[in-house]
């Protein structure tokens, strides 16, 4: 059973802009600044922690103001840190451009989060029952990806590995992605990422026979794919007003892992994740995962 979530996925800072639409190439558009928030793997860690799965951040963090913000937010959520800060660089950041329908587009500027050394990963103290979260962003980074892939491939069989390949899946070296896929117990991705990765059959052929692939389908829910059974689609929760889809996939991953940690079936864990993601898109900001009490209020219309 999963007892703790250890994130190798990096935590960065999101600078959020609201704009009427993306500008055409060479164009310009007026935007309003929504604010600044910690994002990346923080969305996964905080979503899991709020649903009762404690976490450890085992990724890199910088020594400047963005790094300070990351450390403060992790501490506020009760999430421990496994590595010391990189004194050479600050933590990276992302511009999140949010359109009126809640759709978001990102531009990422890397920092300390994109540099991971094997010697640092070797200091992580895993325990039996850990779930290890891996993000495709980090696998795509030239200064981090290979070290992370080799580290994950060598993890003890007692550890549960969850991979979210993310929108940069096509930028990950094929051999590197294959290393992690062969070790992954769970793969969670959306339909666009699934197409970029070559489809269900291609992914399943590169994964272990008992692995689970969760395909997130937005307003249509999510489909659970396992070699031992037929695909199962879990319906989404209707959302009256979608405010911001930033981090919704991350919340889904964190909530799914929390459900598995609470000994739920895959169907029940994904149903929990669908509800958590519906809550998240109803609010502004990336780290909008709910607590169990907030989920109850949301379902009852008391929020």
This prediction has a pTM of 0.93
Q: Which CATH number characterizes residue 46's domain? A: 3.40.1190.20
58 lies in some domain: yes
Task: Return averaged pLDDT per consecutive 10 residues of the chain, 303 residues in all.
Answer: 97 94 96 92 98 98 97 98 96 93 88 96 97 98 97 98 97 98 98 97 96 97 95 94 88 99 98 97 86 91 59
Tokens of 208: 């272990």
The tally of domains found in the chain comes to 1
CB-based contacts of 118, cutoff 8 Å, min separation 6: 147, 150, 151
Q: How far apart are CA 47 and CA 252, in angstroms?
A: 8
Q: Which residues contact 199 (CB under 8 A, 6 or more apart)?
A: none
By three-state DSSP, how is residue 120 classified? helix
| 27 assigned to some structural domain | no
Q: Is residue 60 part of a domain?
A: yes
Domain for residue 246, yes or no? yes
Is-contact 197 188, C-beta < 8 A? no
Domain that holds residue 132: 4-22+32-300
Question: Which residues, 6 or more positions from 178, have their beta carbon under 8 angstroms from its beta carbon?
Answer: 206
Q: Give the per-residue pLDDT at 243.
A: 84
Please choose, from the candidates 273, 276, 288, the residue with its C-alpha nearest in 3D space to the C-alpha of residue 243.
Answer: 288
Confirm whether 275 is domain-assigned: yes
């Amino acid at each position: 059973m999963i007892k703790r979530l250890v994130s190798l996925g990096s935590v960065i800072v999101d600078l959020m802009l609201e704009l009427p639409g993306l500008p055409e190439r060479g164009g310009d558009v007026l935007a309003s600044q929504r604010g600044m928030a910690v994002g990346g793997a923080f969305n996964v860690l905080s979503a899991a922690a709020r649903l009762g799965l404690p976490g450890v951040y085992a990724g890199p963090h910088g020594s400047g103001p963005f790094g300070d913000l990351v450390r403060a937010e992790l501490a506020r959520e009760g999430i421990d840190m496994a590595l010391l800060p990189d004194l050479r660089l600050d933590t990276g950041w992302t511009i999140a451009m949010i359109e009126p329908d809640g759709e978001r587009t990102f531009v990422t500027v890397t920092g300390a989060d994109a540099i991971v050394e094997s010697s640092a990963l070797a200091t992580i103290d895993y325990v039996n029952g850990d779930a290890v979260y891996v993000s495709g962003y980090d696998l795509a980074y030239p200064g981090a990806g290979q070290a992370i892939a080799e580290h994950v491939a060598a993890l003890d069989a007692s550890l549960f590995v969850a991979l979210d390949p993310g929108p940069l899946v096509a930028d990950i070296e094929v051999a590197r992605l294959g290393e992690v896929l062969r070790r992954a117990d769970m793969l969670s991705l959306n339909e666009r990422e699934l197409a970029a990765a070559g489809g269900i059959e291609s992914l399943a052929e590169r994964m272990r026979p008992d692995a689970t692939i969760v395909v997130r389908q937005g307003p249509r829910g999510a489909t659970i794919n396992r070699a031992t059974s037929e695909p199962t689609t879990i319906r989404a929760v209707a959302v009256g007003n979608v405010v911001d889809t930033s981090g919704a996939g991350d919340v889904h991953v964190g909530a799914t892992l929390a459900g598995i940690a609470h000994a739920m079936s895959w169907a029940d864990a994904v149903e929990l994740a669908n509800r958590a993601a519906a809550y998240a898109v109803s609010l502004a900001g990336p780290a909008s995962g709910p607590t169990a009490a907030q989920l109850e209020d949301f379902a009852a219309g008391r929020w």
